[in-house]
C-alpha cells in the first residue's frame, strides 16, 4: 500500500501537469473520498478498482481531466449525468469549489453513498438528484439550466447526447468522456447531433500524467434550443431506431 504522502503527492503532481493547482486540503478531501469508497465498497458494488494508486489515477485524475475544459468555458455550473459513485462529479466539485455541481443518478443506493461523501467532505457546492435523465429534463429547474454537462461511461454517444443536451444552456457544452471507441461513436452520432441542437466542436485526447491511461473527451456545443417534446421524440427514435 502506498503511503498517504505518496498518494497526496501523486494527486497534486498529476493535477499540476493538467494545469490545476490542487491545494493540500483538497488532496486530503480526495484521500478521504478514497477511504469512504473502499469502506462502502465492502457492502455495495461501487468500483472494481481497489488499489490506492489505481483509484487515484483511474478515478480521481481521470475525472479531473475535465476541469481544464470547464475552466476554459467559464462554467459556473455543471451536471454530472449518471454519476454512479460520484465520477467525475465529486473530484470536479473538490477541485473547482466555485462551480456548482449537480450529481444525478437513477440508482438510489449509489446516491446514498454520494450523499455520505458530500456530508463527510462538507461539499457545499454539490446538489444530488435521484432520477433518470430522460425524466428529470421535464423539471423547470433542470431543463436548459447548466453551463455544462459531463458524463463518464454511461451510454453510447448518440443516446448520451439525447440524455445530456436537454440540460445544457444555449451556448454551453456537453463533455462526454470516452475510451478507444470514441471515433466510432462520433460517427454513429453524426446523424443525430444537429437534430438535437448540438455540434461536435472538438475531441481532446487526454493522456493522464504518470500513467499509460488515456481517454477522449468529446466536446459538443449546444448551438440552439429545441423543445422538450422534440427531445423526447428524438430520444425514442435513437433508443429504438427500427420503430
pLDDT 10s digits, 108-131? 999 999 999 999 999 999 999 999
What tens digit of pLDDT does each residue of 188-199 get?
999 999 999 999
Where exactly are the structural domains of the chain? 62-239
Q: Out of 27-31, 115-119, 152-156, 185-189, which region has the weakest mean confidence (pLDDT)?
A: 152-156
Q: For the domain 62-239, what is the CATH code?
A: 3.40.50.150
Share of the chain above pLDDT 90, in %: 93
What tens digit of pLDDT does each residue of 76-116 get?
999 999 999 999 999 999 999 999 999 999 999 999 999 99
3-state secondary structure 22-55: CCHHHHHHHHHHHHHHHHHHCCCCCCCCCCHHHH
Give the model's pLDDT for residue 1.
46
| φ/ψ of residue 17, rounded to 5 | -65, -25
- In order of 2, 130, 217, the CA distances from 73 in angstroms are 36, 27, 14
Cis peptide before 88 (omega within 30 of 0): yes
Give the model's pLDDT for residue 2.
62
What average pLDDT does the segment 53-63 reach?
96
Residue 167 has pLDDT above 50, yes or no: yes
Cis peptide before 115 (omega within 30 of 0): no
- Give pTM, 2 decimals: 0.96
| φ/ψ of residue 103, rounded to 5 | -110, 120
Amino acid at each position: 500500500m502506498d503511503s498517504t504522502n505518496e498518494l497526496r503527492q501523486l494527486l497534486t503532481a498529476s493535477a499540476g501537469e493538467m494545469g490545476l493547482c490542487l491545494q493540500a486540503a483538497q488532496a486530503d478531501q480526495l484521500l478521504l473520498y478514497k477511504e469512504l469508497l473502499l469502506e462502502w465498497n465492502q457492502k455495495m458494488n461501487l468500483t472494481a478498482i481497489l488499489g490506492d494508486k489505481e483509484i487515484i489515477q483511474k478515478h480521481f485524475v481521470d475525472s479531473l481531466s475535465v476541469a481544464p475544459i470547464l475552466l476554459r468555458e467559464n462554467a459556473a455550473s455543471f451536471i454530472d449525468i449518471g454519476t454512479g459513485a460520484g465520477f467525475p462529479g465529486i473530484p470536479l466539485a473538490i477541485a473547482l469549489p466555485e462551480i456548482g455541481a449537480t450529481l444525478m443518478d437513477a440508482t438510489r443506493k449509489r446516491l446514498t453513498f454520494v450523499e455520505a461523501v458530500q456530508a463527510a467532505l462538507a461539499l457545499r457546492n454539490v446538489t444530488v438528484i435521484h432520477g433518470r435523465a430522460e425524466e428529470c429534463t421535464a423539471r423547470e429547474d433542470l431543463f436548459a439550466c447548466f453551463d455544462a454537462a459531463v458524463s463518464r461511461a454511461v451510454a453510447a454517444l448518440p443516446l448520451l447526447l439525447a440524455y445530456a443536451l436537454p440540460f445544457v444552456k444555449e451556448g454551453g457544452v456537453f463533455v462526454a468522456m470516452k475510451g478507444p471507441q470514441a471515433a466510432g461513436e462520433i460517427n454513429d452520432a453524426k446523424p443525430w447531433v444537429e437534430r438535437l441542437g448540438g455540434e461536435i466542436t472538438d475531441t481532446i485526447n487526454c493522456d493522464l500524467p504518470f500513467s499509460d491511461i488515456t481517454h477522449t473527451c468529446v466536446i459538443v456545443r449546444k448551438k440552439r434550443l429545441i423543445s422538450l417534446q422534440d427531445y423526447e421524440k428524438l430520444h425514442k427514435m435513437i433508443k429504438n431506431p427500427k420503430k
